[in-house]
Structure 1
Amino acid sequence: MKKIGVLTSGGDSPGMNAAIRAVVRKAIFHDVEVYGIYQGYTGLMTGQIKKLELGSVGDIIHRGGTFLYSARSEEFKTLEGQKKGIEQLNKHGIEGLVVIGGDGSYRGAEKLTEHGFPCVGVPGTIDNDIPGTDFTIGFDTAINTVIDAIDKIRDTATSHERTYIIEVMGRHAGDIALWSGLAGGAETILIPEATVDMEDVIGRLKRGHDRGKRHSIIVVAEGVGSGVEIGKQIKEATNLETRVSVLGHIQRGGSPTVSDRVLASRLGAYSVELLLDGKKGRAVGIKENKLVDFSISEALSQRHTLDLSMYKLSEELSI
C-alpha cells in the first residue's frame, strides 16, 4: 500500500487534528503518501482531495475541531453515493482509508469495506459511545469543559442560594453527564441509561433544603429531556429558586487535553499500522490502556454500555 486517505466525519471533537497528524506522519515515516479528504463523505464524493505533507499537519496538535472540516451526508448512505466515493478514491490511487468519527462515520466505512475498499475507523466523538473502546477522542476534553462550567455555576448557585439544572450533550449516552456530574459533586445526575424518577429528584431536593442546604446542582443529559422543562417541574414542585444552563456546543470546542492528544496520537498511528498490515473493516480503540482493534460491523451491532456502578456511587455520595 503506497497511498492512503484520511477524513473526519460527523460531529467534530477535540483531538481530531491530533489524530490526523498522527496518521499523516506515521504513514510518511513508512514512505506512504497521505491524502486529506475535506468535508467528510461529501468531499469524498465530490473529489475534495489533497495530498498532505509533513508541514500540512504542523502546529495542529493543540487545535480543537478538524482542519479537514466535517459534514454529515445523506447521499453517502445510498449505493450511488458510495460508488461516487470509491470512484474518487480510485481516481487518486488511494488504496486505504482512515475514517475518524462516530457511529455514523463507521457505517460509511463499513459500506466501503463491503464494496472491497479497505477502511479503518478511529473513534472521534465527545459522547464516548463507541462500543469496543474505553474512551473516544474528545471525551476527556468535553468533560473537562463541563466541569469547568459546573465549578463556575456552583459559585453563583451558592451566592444566590439557587438550584441549577445544567443540561449537557448526550442524546443516547450519559457518559458526559455521569463523569462530569460525579466530578462536580452534583446532587442529582439524569442519564438515558437510568430510569428518571422526578419524585425522587424532588424529594432529594426537599430533604436537602430541610436540613439547611440552600443550593443544588443537577446535571441532565439531553437524551433524558429538556433541562428547561425539568427546571419548570422542580420549580413548581418545590418553589425553590431555579435556573437552567444549557451548555450546548461549547462542549465540542477547545484545545484538547493531554489525555485526548495522547489517545488521538496512539489511535491515529495504530490505524495506519492496520492498513499497512492488510487489515480492513477494523476499528481501533483502547482497553485498559492497551491498543486494540475490532470489527467495525461488530462494534455497530453492539450497544454502548455505561458503568452504572459510577451512577450508584454518585447517588451514595450526594445524600
Structure 2
Amino acid sequence: MKKIGVLTSGGDAPGMNAAVRAVVRKAIFHEMEVFGVYNGYQGLMEGNIKKMNIGSVGDIIQRGGTILYSARSEEFKTEEGQQKAIEQLNKFGIEGLIVIGGDGSFRGAEKLTQKGYPCIGVPGTIDNDIPGTDYTIGFDTALNTIIEAIDKIRDTATSHERTYVIEVMGRNAGDLALWAGLADGAESILIPERADDFQLVVDKLKRGQARGKKHSIIILAEGVGSGMEYGKRIEDATKMDTRVTVLGHIQRGGSPSGFDRVLASRLGAKAVDLLLAGKAGRVVGIQKNELVDHDIIEILKAPHHINEDMYKLSNELSI
C-alpha cells in the first residue's frame, strides 16, 4: 500500500489533531503518500482532498479541534453517496482510509470496507462510548474541563448555600458524568445506564440538609434528560434554592491533555501499522495500556458498559 487517506468525522474531540499528525508522519516514515480528506465524509464525496507532508501537521499536536474539519453527512449514508466517495478514492489513487471519530463514523468506514476500500477506525470522541477500548481520544481532556468548571461552581454553591444541577455531555453514555461526579464529590450522579430514581436523589438532599449541609452538587448526563427541567423538579420537591448549569460545547474544546496527546499518537500510528499489514475493517483501541484492534462489525454491535465498581464507589462515598 502506497497511498492512504485520513479524515475526521462526527463531533470534534481534543487530540484529533495529534492523531492526524501521527498518521501522516508514521505513513511518511514508511515512504507512503498521505492525503487529508477535509470535512469528513461530505468532503470525501466532494473530492475535498489534499496531499499532506510533514509540514502539514507541524505545530498541531497541542491544538484542539481538527485541522481537517468535520461535518455530518446524510447523503453519505445512501448508496449514491458512497459511490461518489469511491469515485473520489479511485481518482486520487487512495488504497486505504483511516477514519478518526465515533460509532457513526465507523459505520461509514464499515460500508467502504465492504465495498473494497480498506478502512481502519480510530476512536475519537469525548463520550468514551466505543466498546473495545478503555479510553477514547478526547475523553480525558473533556473530563478535566468539566472538573475545573465544577470546582468553580462549587465555590458559588457554597457561598450562596445552593443546590446545583450540572448537565454534562456524553450523548447516551454516562462516563463523563460518572468520572466527573466521583472526582468532584457530587452528591448524586445521574447517568443513562441506570434508572433515574428521582426520590432517592430527593431523600439524599433532605438527609444532607437535616445534618446541616449547606450546598449540593448533582451531575446529570445529557442522555438522562434536560438539566433545566431536572433542576425545577428538584427545587419543587425540596424547596431548596436550586440553580442549573449546562456546560455545553465548552467540553469539546481546548488543548488536549498530555494523556490524550499520547493516546492519539499511539492509536494513529497503530492504524497505519494495520494498513501496512494488509488489515481492513478494524478499530484500534487501548486496553490495560496495551494497543489492541477489533473487528469493526463486532464493535458496532457491542453494547457500551460503565465501570460498575466506580458507580458503586460513587454511591458509597456520597452518603
**TM-score normalized with structure 2 length:** 0.99
Q: Look up the match of 2:286.
A: 286
Q: Give, in whole Å, the separation in 2 of the partners of 1:23 and 1:304.
A: 27
Alpha-carbon distance in 2 for matches of 1:196, 1:312: 15
RMSD of Structure 2 on Structure 1 (CA): 0.5
Would the aligned equivalents of 1:14 and 1:253 in 2 still touch at CA under 8 Å?
Answer: yes
One-letter code aligned to 1:270: K
Can you give the 5+ residue segments of structure 2 that lack an aligned partner in the other structure? Answer: none
**How far 1:195 sits from its partner (Å)?**
0.9
Q: Residue deviations 1:266-308, cap 9 Å, x none?
A: 0000000000110000010000000000101110011111112
Q: Distance in 1 between matches of 2:209 and 2:193?
A: 28
Matched residues in 1 for 2:21 and 2:256: separation? 14
| AA in 2 matched with 1:276 | L
1:36 equivalenced with 2:40 (yes/no):
no
Q: Residue 71 in 1 paired to residue 71 in 2?
A: yes
Determine the C-alpha separation between the residues in 2 that align with 1:133 and 1:19. Answer: 16
SS of the residue 1:283 aligns to: strand
Aligned to 1:220: 220
| Cross-structure match for 1:131 | 131
> 2:163 — aligned with what?
163
- Secondary structure of the 1:128 match is coil
Matches within 5 A, 1:175-194: 175-194=175-194
Structure 2 Cα separation of the partners of residues 96 and 237 of structure 1: 57
The answer for the alignment partner of 1:317 in structure 2 is 317
Amino acid at match of 1:33: E
Distance 1:176 1:75 in 2: 31
Alpha-carbon distance in structure 2 between the residues aligned to 1:288 and 1:171 = 25
Distance in 1 between the 2:202 and 2:294 partners?
A: 43
User: Aligned with 1:306: secondary structure?
Assistant: coil
Report the Cα offset of residue 309 of structure 1: 1.7
Tell me if the contact between 1:171 and 1:224 (Cα under 8 Å) persists in the aligned partners: no
CA distance in 1, matches of 2:124, 2:102: 6
Alpha-carbon displacement from aligned partner over 1:164-223 (angstroms, at most 9, x marks no partner): 000000221000000001000000000000111111100000000000001000000011
Match of 1:4 in 2: 4
Segments of 5+ residues of structure 1 without an aligned counterpart are: none
* AA partner of residue 153 (structure 1): I
1:79-138 residue CA offsets vs partner (Å, 9 max, x unmatched)? 111111011011001100000000000000000000011000000000000011110000
Q: Deviations over 1:244-276 (max 9, x none)?
A: 000000000000000000000000000000001
2:233 maps to 1:206: no
Alignment map for 1:301-316 (pairs within 5 Å): 301-316=301-316
* Matches of 1:12 and 1:108, distance apart in 2: 17
Deviations 1:23-69 (A, max 9, x none): 00000000001000000000000000000010000000000000000
SS across alignment from 2:10: coil
TM-score (norm 1): 0.99
- Tell me what 1:88 maps to: 88
Q: Secondary structure at the match of 1:194?
A: coil
Amino acid at match of 1:135: Y
| Aligned counterparts of 1:290 and 1:170: Cα–Cα separation in 2 | 25
Contact 1:2 1:95 in 2 (8 A): yes
> What is the number of residues matched between the two proteins?
319
C-alpha separation between the residues in 2 aligned to 1:77 and 1:189? Answer: 36
CA distance in 1, matches of 2:4, 2:116: 15
Q: Which runs of 4+ in 1 moved over 4 A?
A: none
> Partner amino acid for 2:60?
I
| Inter-partner Cα distance in structure 1 for 2:288 and 2:236 | 45
Deviation at 1:73, TM superposition (A): 0.5
- Report the equivalent of 2:22: 22
